[in-house]
Amino acid sequence: MGYRIFMRCLSQVLRNWLAALKLSWFWMIVLLGVLSAASIAILASAQTALNRDTASSGIGMLVAVVVLVFILAVLGGSTIAVGWHRYVLREERIGWFVFLKREWPTGKYIWKTVRIGIILLIPGILFSYMLSSLVGSALQFGVDLATSVLFSSFVLLINLGISSVMTWLFFRLGVGLPAIAVGKSLSLLESFELTRGYSGSIFVASVLAIGLNFVPTVLTLIANAMFGESALTDIVALSGIPFAFISFFVSVGILTVLYGHLVEGRPV
């Protein structure tokens, strides 16, 4: 069932790519513009950092940019997600100029997402500590992280496993997110209990969703091993952009399908 859920969500994105683009183009341009302008400003600041004061101002600018990008990403991502839930569950028509709709419960959606993020913070910190300890131990034993393909592959697999578990927890807790999008209510505990019998299927869908997101990383590692630092490797690395786009909508789609099946009785 997990494979069916994943493939259904993937086909939804590929078949309805225009609707996905209509929902997301504005926020992608905004984020790209902010990142581009910030990169230019930070580089200019670094070039003129001749004393401690200017250096500290450069650090302050970097922090401000990170905060701004985070806020825009959360606001934009939540707006897009609400729109996709409504598009799939209620067949709501999507226009080209969908930025922030007053009737969409984006604020409630963000608040529930933040609450889920806070819950996932503890296992996230624990897993990050375990991974950093593993890398630190490898460095102590003289492993060259830049050239050791075997160790890099091992770390990639560990990261894939950790990301899959975190995504599985998010899907278990997040079925209430599409509920908010269509004007319903489902608590975090209700969501977790509702998905109890589908735990294995959700984990399979989580692994596949994260695996899709890791494809550009694997391709870049292969290209780097074969061609080194080259234009071809850079082109392969850019494949991460469309993959990230598709992966985002697949993840939102998985929540949508779970809600539709478990709450509204829709077939998978």
Per-residue pLDDT of the chain (268 residues; tens, 9 = 90+): 999 999 999 999 999 999 999 999 999 999 888 888 777 776 766 666 555 555 555 677 777 778 888 899 999 999 999 999 999 999 998 888 877 788 899 999 999 999 999 999 988 888 888 777 776 776 666 655 555 567 677 777 888 888 999 999 999 999 999 999 999 999 999 999 999 999 999 999 999 999 998 888 888 878 877 777 777 888 888 888 899 999 999 999 999 999 999 999 998 8
What's the rounded Cα separation, in Å, for the pair 194 and 186?
A: 10
Contact in structure between 236 and 220 (CB atoms under 8 Å): yes
Q: What is the pLDDT of residue 56?
A: 55
Q: What is the pLDDT of residue 134?
A: 73
User: Greatest CA separation found in the chain?
Assistant: 64
Q: How far does the chain reach from its first CA to its final CA, in angstroms?
A: 8
Contact in structure between 175 and 195 (CB atoms under 8 Å): yes
What's the rounded Cα separation, in Å, for the pair 69 and 88?
A: 28
Nearest one of 253, 99, 93, 105 to 175, comparing CA atoms: 253
DSSP class of residue 96? S
Q: Specify the 3-state DSSP secondary structure of 238.
A: coil
What's the rounded Cα separation, in Å, for the pair 214 and 160?
A: 8
Q: What is the pLDDT of residue 45?
A: 64
Give how far Cα 200 sits from Cα of 175, 177, 203, Å.
16, 21, 5
